[in-house]
Amino acid sequence: MCLAIPGKIIELVPNQAHLGTVEVAGVRRKVDLGLLVDDMPVPGDWVLIHVGFAMTKISERDAAEQMHLLQMLGETEQAIEEVRGYGLDDSGSFRSMSSGTS
């Protein structure tokens, strides 16, 4: 129920309204686009393929946003620790040095 792979639509099959040829790392297969009738993909779009059917279009924007979030992981924490190291508390004001952490 879970094996679904991203593939790129290479072309729509002429005379077969609901079929497209999809390519995954150089492997090609005809895929049924019938579940995407509300927003039909065009050649160049990426779709998620499961048992020979396209389940959704892949959002390049969401993928990029996710990669960005992953790259940022831990960086907020690091920034906060760096700030603490200056003797600043979280609001940006100086603490008295005796109670500060190093």
Partner 1 sequence: MRYVDEFRDPELITKASEEIYRLADTGRHYRIMEVCGGHTHAIYRFGLKDVLPANIELIHGPGCPVCVLPMGRIDDGLAVAKNADVIFAAFGDMMRVPGTHGSPFEHKARGTDVRIVYSPADALQLARKNPDRHVMFFAIGFETTAPSTALTLMRAKMEGIRNFSIFCNHVTIVPAIRAILDSPDMRLDAFIGPGHVSTVIGCRPYEWIARNEGKPVVTSGFEPLDLLQSIVMLLRQLKAGEARVENQYKRVVPWEGNRAALKAMAEVFQLRPYFEWRGLGFISQSALKIRDEYAEWDAEQRFPIPGTRVTDPKAAQCGEVLKGVLKPAQCKLFGNECTPEHPIGALMVSSEGSCAAYYNYEHRKAALVTSISSVA
Partner 2 sequence: MAHGAGGKASRRLVEGLFAPLLFANATAPLGDAARISTDGSSIAITTDSFVVKPLKFPGGSIGELAVNGTLNDLAVSGARGQAMVVTFVLEEGLPTPVLEAEVRAMAAALRRAGVVMVGGDTKVVERGKADGMYITTTGIGRPMPQVRIDAQSVQPGDKVLLSGPIGDHGITILLARGELDLEADLSSDTRCVLPLVEAMVEEAAPGIRWMRDPTRGGVATSLNELARDCGLSIVLSEEEIPMRNEVRGACELLGLDPLHIANEGQFLAVVAPEYADAALNALHKTDGCEDAVVIGEVRAEPACAVLVTTRYGGSRIVDMLVGDPLPRIC
Closest CA to 3 of 56, 61, 54, 50: 50
Convert residues 37-56 into a mask of x (bound to partner 2 by CB under 8 A) and - (unbound): ------------xxxx----
b/e string for 14-48 if b means 16 or more Cβ within 10 A?
Answer: eeeebbbbbeeeeeeeebebeebeeebbeeebbbe
Binding-site partner at residue 27 among partner 2, partner 1, none, CB < 5 to 8 Å by type: partner 2
Place of tokens 């790392």: 25
Other C-beta atoms closer than 10 Å to the C-beta of 98 total 5
Nearest-approach distance from CB 63 to partner 2, in angstroms: 17
Nearest-approach distance from CB 96 to partner 1, in angstroms: 28
| Residues engaged in binding partner 1 (CB under 8 A) | 1-6, 8, 24-25, 32, 34-38, 46, 48, 50-53, 55-56, 58-60, 62-63, 65-67, 69-71, 73-74, 77
Nearest-approach distance from CB 9 to partner 1, in angstroms: 13
Kindly state the tokens that stand for 46.
Answer: 């990426």
Which residues are at the interface with partner 2 (CB under 8 A)?
Answer: 1-3, 5, 7, 24-30, 49-52
